[in-house]
Amino acid sequence: MYNLTDFDAVLAISRRGSFRAAALDLGMSTSALSNTIAKIEGQLGVRLFNRTTRSVALTEAGRRFVEQVTPALKDIHEALDTVRAQQDVPSGTLRINTFATAGREILAPLVLECLRRFPQIRIDLVTEGNLVDIVAEGFDFGVRSENLVPSDMIAIPIGPARRYAVVATPHYLARHGSPKVPVDLLGHACIRTRLPNGAMFRWPFEVEGQPVQVDVDGPITLDEASLARQAVLASCGIGFFMESDVREDIAAGRLVRLLPEWTAPLAPLCLYYPSRRNPPAAFKVFVDLARELARSARQ
């Protein structure tokens, strides 16, 4: 009468507190997830969730159900992992959580390379600014700066040290001149960036070995690097990016790099994951590919 996916759906909603967020995690539509819950509630003869237009919460029966079924589901999934570990051809879906810039950096050398080598694998790559608990949120892997990786995770550095880049177009610099030191930015139009928590991003520099942050001002505030890049390319002002996001523009002469001596190296990106006793074959080959990428970065 019951499918394993039905129980996974209940746990996903309980974990996320939202049908929409849980549906995204499960790779299904919100309406399909709602129908799944209605079906299992009908079969059980009891409501598992109290739903309003603004919130979703477990009923008392739902809370007890989740508490009792979670350990059993964990055992079942571990048993399935044990079987999948014996696959001759790696298959299945890997879920990865990262942030947008890192997603762009790992897409070609890691994600697309994995899909090229192992066509039976599917990858669900989720980018978000906030740091999340990848285990609690149902992800197989996370990708973050090395200094942000939780201490209880296994981490693989997958790239060289990274740097910020301050850039502007030749046209903007011809009209307004170039800043010589970070404080000069206060006299320029800058593309401001809003962080996921709503705070304004202060541009970090290193002056004589000491960290300095500059609270720039400018005509536009954005929250996504690709939009900020468009604004800078339109000569709207000076922008602050990860070097990887504007490297091709600098090489082509569309953008000029500014203040390079004040932007210190950053920690490398790391692929990280929790220890698993019997990881599926897809999980193992992805880890192997990450280690291969790490070795090539050191050479």
Q: Give one DSSP letter per residue of 225-241, joined into a string.
A: HHHHHHHHHTTS-BEEE
- pLDDT score recorded for residue 210: 87
- pLDDT score recorded for residue 260: 95
Q: Which of 60, 84, 108 is the last residue of a domain?
A: 84
Q: Please indicate, yes or no, whether residues 73 and 130 belong to a single structural domain of this protein.
A: no
Please, what are the averages of pLDDT over each run of 10 residues along the chain (299 residues)? 86 90 85 92 92 86 93 86 77 92 92 96 91 88 93 91 94 97 96 90 90 95 93 98 94 97 90 89 94 83
Q: Please indicate, yes or no, whether residues 221 and 234 belong to a single structural domain of this protein.
A: yes
Q: Please indicate, yes or no, whether residues 113 and 181 belong to a single structural domain of this protein.
A: no
Q: What total of structural domains would you count in the chain?
A: 3
- pLDDT score recorded for residue 296: 82
Q: Please indicate, yes or no, whether residues 171 and 240 belong to a single structural domain of this protein.
A: yes
Q: How far is CA 173 from CA 30, 144, 167, 169, 248, in A?
A: 49, 34, 10, 6, 19
User: 74: buried, middle or exposed (CB in 10 Å: 19+, 13-18, 0-12)?
Assistant: exposed
Which CATH number fits the domain that encloses residue 283? 3.40.190.10
- pLDDT score recorded for residue 299: 65
Task: Compute the C-alpha angle 128/294/100, nearest 5°.
Answer: 15
Could you tell me the residue range of the domain that residue 251 belongs to? 164-262
- Which residue is it, tokens 């192992």? 118
Q: Please indicate, yes or no, whether residues 176 and 258 belong to a single structural domain of this protein.
A: yes
At position 164, the amino acid (one-letter code) is: Y
- pLDDT score recorded for residue 68: 93
Which CATH number fits the domain that encloses residue 33? 1.10.10.10
Q: Which residues is 94 bridged to in the sheet?
A: 123
Nearest CA to 12 out of 45, 47, 37 is that of: 37
Q: Please indicate, yes or no, whether residues 214 and 292 belong to a single structural domain of this protein.
A: no
- pLDDT score recorded for residue 161: 79
Q: Please indicate, yes or no, whether residues 142 and 73 belong to a single structural domain of this protein.
A: no
